[in-house]
Structure 1
Amino acid sequence: MAKKPLGPVRRAFAPWENPEQQPFIEFRNVTKRFGSFVAVDQLSLKIYQREFHALLGGSGCGKTTLMRMLAGFETPTEGQIFLDGQEITRIPPHRRPVNMMFQSYALFPHLNVEKNIAFGLKQDNLPRSDIKRRVDEMLALVKLEAFAKRKPHQLSGGQRQRVALARSLAKRPKVLLLDEPLAALDKKLREETQIELMNLQEELRMTFLIVTHDQEEAMNLADRISVMNSGHILQVATPGEIYEQPVSRYVADFIGDINFFECKVTGCRPQNGGASITLHSEELGNEIKVKAGHPRMIGDAVTFAIRPEKMRISFEKPLDPSLNTIKGEVWDIAYLGDVSIYHIKVSQGHIVRTIVANTTRLVERPISWEDKVWLSFDAEAGVILSQ
């Protein structure tokens, strides 16, 4: 029986939870070296049919190299790559059933929209009637029928992006590779295009693999995310699991905003299949009560991590004894419209960030600079990290 997913998911789709399900794409112990530099190091990853998978990480982490090896533009130094049960490690790019959409779109400026879409089909020597039918299908799919005769310079950035997408899909690949495809779009258009991409992937029932450094983009689009750093995958999980249960400090810090506190384990007792753990934080000058999935040894040095939105702020100390409470002073406030970020200086001088949703139109905030306040949070609000 598949476990209940953590956090909201955009569709009931989790083949990775089924041990009998075979991966559609598999990297087995893949390494890629460029001289003495190791771009990808002994990496293994399974991606499933119809999955929208994101490779997420900073510049130089190896995500684009991994995608280029799947496309055939780079050859692994070591290891194997499989697609739909077939090893493709040494198969040239033009013989692989994958297509890649580049960040630059790489449209031909002298060809109109329909000829750009038809280009790859003509290279494959398809009959003219088949090419026309396929081009018409793609124009309808990306809603560009009225722009078929226009050239790229006569289109908006979003329209050029859709032409590049249609051209990538025209050859009906088994896998579509997306290399930072929305980086050139403004924020609002990028958000709209993300929804279009999700709907398109669901409609086509295809496997999409996207490379991005934008955490919000990965969280919005992907069924699962692989967080990468220095040629390694640090965690593969759904967006909800990545955000709520990061396995390391790097992952927790890379995805969203978070507070870290260095602590010592001072108490631990079993509770409901997990453990109730007490931590002492010198930075906070406080004890912290935490519910964790497994016990910890007394004296262990750990990092306690908690998202700013998981903390509440008030003038009065909460009366609920089950809550963790910290006294502090408002040091700074950042007003972002939908939310305000409060920087609270606690007794030991450490700055703690908390986020408050601005649910009313009042610009004046009841809590202001230099106010003495209390922060509070539940025992289940944060996570204990060892790495």
Structure 2
Amino acid sequence: MKRPLCPVRRAFSPWDDPGEQPLIEFRNISKRFGSFIAVDNLSLKIFKREFHALLGASGCGKTTLMRMLAGFEEPSEGRIFLEGQDLTGTPAHKRPFNMMFQSYALFPHMSAARNIAFGLEMERLPALEIKKRVWEMLSLVRLEGFAKRKPHQLSGGQRQRVALARSLVKRPKVLLLDEPLAALDKKLRENTQLELMNLQEQMRMTFLIVTHDQEEAMTVADRISVMDKGKILQNATPGEIYEQPASRFVAEFIGDINVLDGQITTKQQRNVRIFSSVLGAHLDVRYSTPAKVGDSAALAVRPEKMRLSLEKPEEPETNAIPGEVWDIAYMGDVSIYHIKVAETQTLRAIVANTSRLVERPITWDDQVWLSWDSDAGVILTR
């Protein structure tokens, strides 16, 4: 029986231990292509057995950073260390990494077993050792009955698992995954994410994944580095990034969020009041911020933390603003309400569809109250 992942992942946090040495360290790394700066003076530590995600839009520098680690690109400045050893000048084939590409890059004329065995054959391992390792990998990815099939005889998910087995069979210290699930459909992608997490835990390996898919990063990673313009804007656990984004970019890139610009009018420890000129109202926030009275700031609230009602709520420590239902998006499990609260401001609230939808208690053009608790939002100052 497989060991459940939850207790393992919950207890895993080597980055919080000042005595823990990183497995990989990027130290002041920059990479330029002519006048274009792909990676800009970036530093990052990745720890043994960590599943780390580099997350960002196309062109943010995440793939370039991975390619430098793999040895396919050389940094313009800075150093990369593996277990304290400088990798500068070490060719790609001598680095203890394997990379799984988005295209899978399987040999079309070889069977699944031969594709997996190829790297071991190049290292001239004994035939019995190769056979043993290949069957171990086929069993691990649950493809024992597909060993003799060629790539065109396999489904997309099966090809993905062959590529994964080929990457793992050489037992690298780190597996590098470059958008490995992008070609899969949504349901298969979700199932494969869980398989990746289980494989990573079973093999007790370090995985580094590059992805632009926020849900994928939130699902598989122990920590996420959110990147933009060659820099890491925030490096934290998925929960921290979602609930405590460090900047407006991170807040808007990860999931859906409502942002109300304003100015801090009062502040007492964690009790902060912001005046929104768009709403013409004061909003209360329980959140620690270094910002001072008079500073410009934004209040950010996730749509699922907002409530809708036809009557004004009277609960203490609750923000409530009037609005009009502008649009409703029915998503099956939830409905997303777009509430116009000012001429230039629309906010979103997510309402769970907990019963069969026959008639909406709140529908288009209704005058409603949008409310949220004072500790539901965060203050963004950059």
TM-score range for the pair, normalised by the shorter chain length: over 0.9
- Is the counterpart of residue 29 in structure 1 residue 28 in structure 2? yes
- Is contact 2:311-2:369 (8 Å) kept? yes
CA distance in 2, matches of 1:117, 1:123: 11
Instruction: Indicate the RMSD between aligned Cα atoms, in angstroms.
Output: 1.3
Cα separation, 2, equivalents of 1:150 and 1:347? 61
Instruction: Find the aligned partners of 2:64 and 2:358 in 1 and give their Cα distance.
Output: 48
Aligned to 1:339: 334
Q: What is the rounded CA distance, in whole Å, between the counterparts of 2:10 and 2:215 in structure 1? A: 18
Return the offset for 1:319. Answer: 1.2
Unpaired stretches in structure 1, ≥5 consecutive residues: 1-6
Shift of 1:294: 3.6
1:148 Cα offset (Å): 0.4
Cα gap change, 1:104 to 1:129, in 2 (>3 Å): same
Aligned-partner Cα distance in 1 for 2:279–2:221: 36
Distance 1:296 1:94 in 2: 49
Q: 1:50 to 1:260 in 2, by over 3 A?
A: same
Partner of 2:162: 163
Segments of structure 2 that go 5 or more residues without pairing to the other structure are 1-5
Amino acid in structure 2 at the alignment position of 1:256: G
Code of the residue aligned with 2:319 in structure 1: it is N
Tell me, in whole angstroms, the C-alpha distance in 1 between the residues paired with 2:222 and 2:358: 38
Structure 2 Cα separation of the partners of residues 188 and 294 of structure 1: 40
Give the match for residue 102 of structure 1: 101
Distance 1:217 1:9 in 2: 19
Aligned to 1:70: 69
Name the counterpart of 1:4. Answer: none
| 2:3 equivalent in structure 1 | none
Q: 1:88-237 alignment to 2 at 5 Å? A: 88-237=87-236
Deviation at 1:78, TM superposition (A): 0.6
Instruction: Summarize the alignment of residues 301-312 of structure 1 with structure 2, pairs less than 5 Å apart.
Output: 301-312=296-307
Q: Distance in 2 between matches of 1:352 and 1:100?
A: 42
Aligned length: 377
> How far is the alpha carbon of 1:346 from its aligned partner?
1.2
Counterpart code for 1:299: G
Between 338-347 and 97-106, the greater mean CA deviation after superposition:
338-347
How far did residue 85 of structure 1 move? 2.0
Distance of aligned partners of 1:295 and 1:70 in 2 relative to their CA distance in 1, 3 Å threshold: closer
**3-state SS, counterpart of residue 102 of structure 2:** coil
Give identity over the alignment, percent. 69
Give secondary structure in 2 for the equivalent of 1:11.
helix
CA distance in 1, matches of 2:238, 2:248: 16
TM-score (norm 1): 0.96
Q: What is the CA–CA distance in structure 2 between the aligned matches of 1:139 and 1:177, rounded to whole Å?
A: 20
Match of 2:130, as an amino acid?
I
1:144-183: per-residue Cα shift (whole Å, max 9, x none)? 1100000000000000000000000011000000000000
Pair 351,9 (structure 1): closer, same or farther in 2 beyond 3 Å:
farther
The offset of 1:10, in angstroms, is 4.0
Rounded Cα–Cα distance in structure 1 between residues aligned with 2:16 and 2:9: 16
- The one of 343, 350, 353 equivalent to 1:355 is 350
* TM superposition shift of 1:347: 4.0
